[in-house]
Structure 1
Amino acid sequence: MSNQIEITYSFNAPRELVFKAFTESQHLQNWWGPKGWMFHVAKADFRPGGVFHYSQQPADGEKMWVKFLYSEIVATDKIVYASFFSDEEGNKVRAPFDANWPLETLNNMTFIENEGKTTLTMIMAPSSPTEEEFKTYFSSQEMVQNGFTGTFDQLAEYLKNSSI
């Protein structure tokens, strides 16, 4: 079994626009997260060492907080960050949906443009998981892939219908 999950998605848009949609909160708030969920940006500091802290909430459920810590951002090429569920203050907490979800995941996103289309490759891996966290994460691979694919579908629609 691989120790990472990889998702590849192609956008019918130039890399510069796709990257901008990932790194500017005024765009992110229009497409990030599960479809139909409320989304609120508490902090957006897109630079190495910066933080993206937000909440998301389904119509019929509890608010969840998530925090990204950026370690590397190479304009239009790459975004590397750690992500974890948090409380409203940004402190790391267990995932609200599964106590055995890894406390933190490492995420590496690369953007490659070819003939005006952009291919995003996202590689995710749990950071120092226990054996139980590792099993939980990889048994949820389909959920993770479907979740991100749905989110990226929303971005594709946003790029098509907006003038970034």
Structure 2
Amino acid sequence: MLTQAKPIATASREFAVTRTFNAPRDLVWKAWSEADRLAQWWGPKGGKLDVAKLEFRPGGVFHYSMLMPDGATTWWGRFVYREIVKPERIVFVSSFSDAKGGIARAPFDPTWPLEVHNTLTLSEHDGKTMLELHGAPVNPSAEERVSFEGLFDCMQQGYGGTFDQLDEHLAKT
């Protein structure tokens, strides 16, 4: 078990998404923890992900660029891992970033929170894996909280497309 305890303040309402994959938990874990696998499914449907750095450990960083589906726009993002409990839980803070890995404002909304605290849990039942992801902004302003909570439906759709890609990746492996 790898852990790094660090308290973090978040908003009162969390975003949550749940998905069941027809794959064992070990395989789903690898899809989240290995750079070559993440590059095959993370991000918007129709986009292309390039992993700039993956240090899968507490305090480590996943830094990536996403060529968006329009083929012309690139967005950068990063996770900073807070806690890793193999193969059950990954706690990380996500944000948009610049090419050097510094935190940046979201390209789609100047009031989107700078950082989102996420807890991903994986549980296995009869060879299938249930994924639960909960997220909330870190120390948001009132405006950032409203922006985050106002996009719950869009986030459900976005994660739906991303998790469709994960489903396709798992079926191939």
TM bracket, shorter-chain basis: over 0.9
- In the TM superposition, residue 153 of structure 1 has moved relative to its aligned partner by 1.0
Percent identity over paired residues: 48
TM-score (norm 2): 0.91
Q: Which runs of 5+ in 2 are unaligned?
A: 1-10
Aligned position for 2:5: none
Gaps of 5+ in 1: none
Residue 137 (structure 2) pairs with residue 126 (structure 1): yes
Superposed, 1:5-154 pairs within 5 Å as 5-60=15-70, 61-154=72-165
Name the SS for the 1:47 alignment partner.
Answer: coil
Q: Report the number of matched residues.
A: 162
Q: CA deviation at 1:9?
A: 0.4
- Give SS of 1:100's match: coil
Q: Which moved more, 1:14-23 or 1:57-66?
A: 57-66
Amino acid at match of 1:47: R
* AA at the equivalent of 1:136: S
Contact 2:68 2:75 in 1 (8 A): no
Offset at residue 38 of structure 1 (A) = 1.8
Q: CA RMSD in A?
A: 1.2
CA distance in 1: counterparts of 2:65 and 2:144, whole angstroms: 23
TM normalised by structure 1 equals: 0.96
Equivalent residues of 2:122, 2:130 under 8 A apart: yes
Q: What's the offset of the Cα at 1:59? A: 3.9
Give yes or no for contact 2:137–2:145 (8 Å, CA) kept in 1: yes
CA contact (8 A) 2:80 2:93 kept: yes
